Chain A
């Protein structure tokens, strides 16, 4: 047995990636021993460790931002490569241990209170998540047939949505020039990924085959099909009514789930990991709830980052991740994804944004502000 282990280590060492200049979660946790143990394993569909880590090998990382550095090719990846994925998940999600903990799912939007923000400050509100269709491989690994099946299953289900959720589908391969222009003007159109984090993981293969955008007629509920996940689900509105945005979000998700279940399909979900998505950073709720909010005075206060951190919020520019704030307007959203429920995370955003607005109002009046104590996490 020991001889086999030594032989395996020797053969695998020729393949072991050079991660000395790397700074991502995968590089922090992959060891020669783990690599030797997993390098000849595959999921039932044939997805391998080398495929899972390719994006992290190809993208050493950023000195300031620690990327995840690996993806799942299917639901089973999270089991077969658990020896690597579990420590990565633990690091990324504040110590959440998939071996011992359970993730709570709660899509009861009636529990949200104080979720209607002062529209003098909050310009727009948005909640997004992703959902994967159980039984079909994820974007890094899916075949063309599987990707088309995802499209078919989801589009059929969406066609059953009614009333304020009724809408239509725009396939990327077939949309007219006018439709494309309208989607661009609405800021709905997504493009072929250019980020090497995604392309090196194989997510842009066969573009634009089986990719598309669905939205309701009111343009407040939007679904991306086969971009970085099987589906990305977005609810949004101008103004500060986060509660209503979340209501529509939950209602829409539950309806879509019911419609796919009628046809014998279901979402990928487990007690340990919540909703299963391509990137380990999006496990659990996969939820990012956020607002575009005007905080010109607070934006200049040196305590802003500490305040945000303690409220378990993150800031981005209004162009999304990796953009800068313009005119004191920030994108403020939850930091966490796993270990807390949807309701808990949205309430965290609601409470936090209300606090930030209070700070801004105090600064307007020349009063001082307080840094709030750090919120306790799931422990």
Chain B
């Protein structure tokens, strides 16, 4: 319902220092940037949809952060948040994305044919390959701010688009609130089912409101292309398969995304994108490509090598346990993916994964033979 943001205006009756959050024990990107002066400058602003500065930063105020991991500490409530609150978000984006400037342009390249190789990662080491991204639908607000009506509108459009796909993309939608027990069991066994967010980083930003209304999972019949609707973003799109054929995974990813985008455009609801920030998503960390391309790979020897982390940094890759972010590796198997999102294209990022993983598998093989790998360690990419 169109509604004036009385609550924010009411706060203006109080002085800046009275409303300014206590960030003295905080360690996240927002806390590093938001001075009292900046708070004073932005606090009377709101986006056309009524998203305010306090809405942007609430998650960062409520979650002081981790001593080792630097969380972002803020979210966007709509496409316009990145404009209206640019004085806060641009420095955060720069800090998070390797010095990306307010004047920089982001390159989008979803032409899978531009990827070199990627179809020959050794399956004895590379157990599975996966590429994910997110997409936001223009004309709607983002999960921290969306109303039930909007979320349902997003779901309806998404289901229309997805169920019209055919060929390798023919599939089915499972709404969270009406799936049968048998369907739920199957989705759990396939490792497809997503749950209500429990992380306070997400719940404090309001993303779990009205759960499970408007949320669901779509996947193709061959279970290699999966879309989450209304979880942390409007859409999370995932292409995956067992083994090391990242090229094929990326092909399916690009083709599927482009087919879906065409259908949304026909309804005058294309994806949120601009030439500065690339694809617009809820969390500033996912701007640009929003892409995480990765593999589960066995590197028991390399992972215990003293230069392992250094090698990853130089290859512009990151490691996670096989349970995803914040999990530990099991049995020397790691989730290795690109570290960057903004400032390089999809093809470039997946290329880094393909080339980097190939190199690391070679290193692993050398170490197995008791040979040194020092000469193989690359320069910083």
Question: Which A residues have a C-beta under 8 Å from some C-beta of B?
Answer: 11-12, 14-18, 39-40, 42, 44-48, 50, 54, 57-58, 141, 143-146, 148-149, 173, 199-200, 204-207, 209
- Are the CB atoms of B11 and A15 closer together than 8 Å? no
CB distance from A71 to the nearest CB of B (A): 15
Bitwise interface map of B from 176 to 214 toward A, beta carbon under 8 Å scored 1, else 0: 010000000000000000000000000110001111010
> Given A145-B11, A145-B18, A173-B22, are A11 and B1 neighbors across the interface (CB < 8 Å)?
yes
Interface-facing stretch out of B29-37, B145-153, B158-166? B145-153
Question: What are 21 A-B pairs at a CB distance below 8 A?
Answer: A14-B152, A15-B1, A15-B149, A16-B148, A17-B148, A18-B177, A18-B213, A40-B3, A45-B6, A48-B3, A58-B209, A58-B210, A58-B211, A144-B19, A145-B15, A145-B19, A146-B14, A148-B18, A205-B204, A206-B61, A209-B22
Grouping DSSP codes into helix (H, G, I), strand (E, B) and loop, the A interface class, with mixed when no group exceeds half, is loop
B149 nearest in chain A by CB position:
A14
Question: In the bound complex, how far is the Cα of B22 from the Cα of A209, in angstroms?
Answer: 7
Contacts of B332 in A (CB 8 A): none
Docked-complex contact B213 and A17, CB < 8 angstroms: yes
B241 close to A (CB within 8 Å): no
Shortest distance from the beta carbon of A366 to any chain B beta carbon, whole Å = 52
Given contacts A11-B1, A40-B3, 9 further A-B contacts (CB under 8 A): A17-B148, A46-B7, A58-B211, A144-B20, A145-B15, A149-B18, A205-B62, A205-B204, A207-B62
User: Within 8 Å CB of A200, what residues of B?
Assistant: 209
Decide: A46 near B6, CB < 8 A? Known: A15-B1, A15-B148, A204-B62: yes
Contact of A40 among B1, B54, B209 (CB under 8 A): B1
A45 touching B18 in the complex, CB below 8 Å, given contacts A15-B148, A18-B213: no
Query: B residues within 8 A CB of A15?
Result: 1, 147-149
**B5 / chain A contacts, CB cutoff of 8 Å:** 46
* Contact (Cβ within 8 A) B210 A17: yes
CA–CA, A40 and B6, complex, Å = 12
Q: Are B9 and A54 in contact (CB under 8 A)?
A: no
Q: Are A199 and B147 in contact (CB under 8 A)?
A: no
Q: Does B8 contact A (CB under 8 A)?
A: yes
- Bound together, the chains give a CA A57 to CA B5 distance in angstroms of 22
- In the assembled complex, the CB of A304 is this many whole angstroms from the nearest CB of chain B, namely 37
Task: Give every chain A residue within 8 A of B54 (Cβ-Cβ).
Answer: 143
- Whether A45 pairs with B10 at a CB distance below 8 angstroms is yes
Cα(A12)–Cα(B1), bound, Å: 8
Q: What is the chain A residue whose CB lies nearest that of B214?
A: A18
The 7 closest A-B pairs by CB, nearest first: A46-B6, A46-B7, A145-B14, A14-B149, A145-B18, A15-B149, A145-B19
Q: Does B58 contact A (CB under 8 A)?
A: yes
A73 to B178, CA, bound (A): 32
Q: Which residues of B contact A39 (CB under 8 A)?
A: 1
* Contact status B3-A42, CB under 8 Å: yes
B3 contacts across to A, CB distance below 8 A? 40, 42, 48
Q: B14: which A residues are within 8 A, CB to CB?
A: 143, 145-146
Inter-chain CA distance A146–B15, complex, in Å, is: 11
Instruction: Chain B residues near A199: list those with CB within 8 A.
Output: 203
Residues of A within 8 A of B40 (CB): none
Which residues of B line the A interface, CB within 8 A? 1, 3, 5-11, 14-15, 18-22, 54, 58, 61-62, 147-149, 152-153, 177, 203-204, 208-211, 213
B1, B148, B204, most chain A CB atoms within 10 A:
B1
Docked Cα-Cα span, A269 to B218, in Å, equals 52
Report how far A17 CA is from B149 CA in the complex, Å.
Answer: 9
Select B147's contact among A50, A141, A149, A204, beta carbons within 8 Å: A50
A residues less than 8 Å from B148 (CB atoms): 14-17
Nearest CB of B to A170, in Å: 17
Is B58 in contact with A46, judged by CB distance below 8 angstroms? no
Q: Which of A46, A141, A206 contacts B62 (CB 8 A)?
A: A206
Residues of B within 8 A of A44 (CB): 6, 10
Chain B, Cβ-Cβ closest to A210? B22
Q: List the A side residues contacting B22 at CB < 8 Å.
A: 173, 209
Whether the Cβ atoms of A46 and B147 lie closer than 8 Å is no
Which residue from chain B places its CB closest to the CB of A209 in the assembled complex? B22
By the criterion CB–CB under 8 Å, are B1 and A42 in contact?
no
Complex: A45 Cα to B11 Cα, angstroms: 9
C-alpha gap A206/B25 in the complex (Å): 12
| B57 CB to nearest chain A CB (Å) | 10
Point out the residues of chain B lying under 8 angstroms from A47, CB to CB: 7
B46 to chain A, nearest CB (A): 12
Contacts of A54 in B (CB 8 A): 209-210
With A and B bound together, what is the CA distance between A204 and B7 in angstroms?
Answer: 18
Q: Is the CB of A46 within 8 A of B1?
A: no
Chain A residues within an 8 Å CB radius of B204: 205
Say how far B199's CB is from chain A's closest CB, in angstroms: 13
B11 neighbours in A (Cβ, 8 Å) = 143, 145
Distance (Å) between the CB of A175 and the closest chain B CB? 13
Nearest-CB residue, chain B, relative to A21:
B177
Instruction: For the complex, give the distance between the alpha carbons of A209 and B148 in Å.
Output: 31
Contacts of A173 in B (CB 8 A): 22
Chain A residue nearest to B2 (CB atoms) is: A40
List of A residues within 8 angstroms of B9 by Cβ: 46
CB-CB < 8 A to A143: which residues of B?
Answer: 10-11, 14, 19, 54
Q: Which residue of B lies closest to A57 (CB)?
A: B210
Q: Which of B9, B54, B148 has the most CB of A within 10 A?
A: B148
Contacts of A46 in B (CB 8 A): 5-10
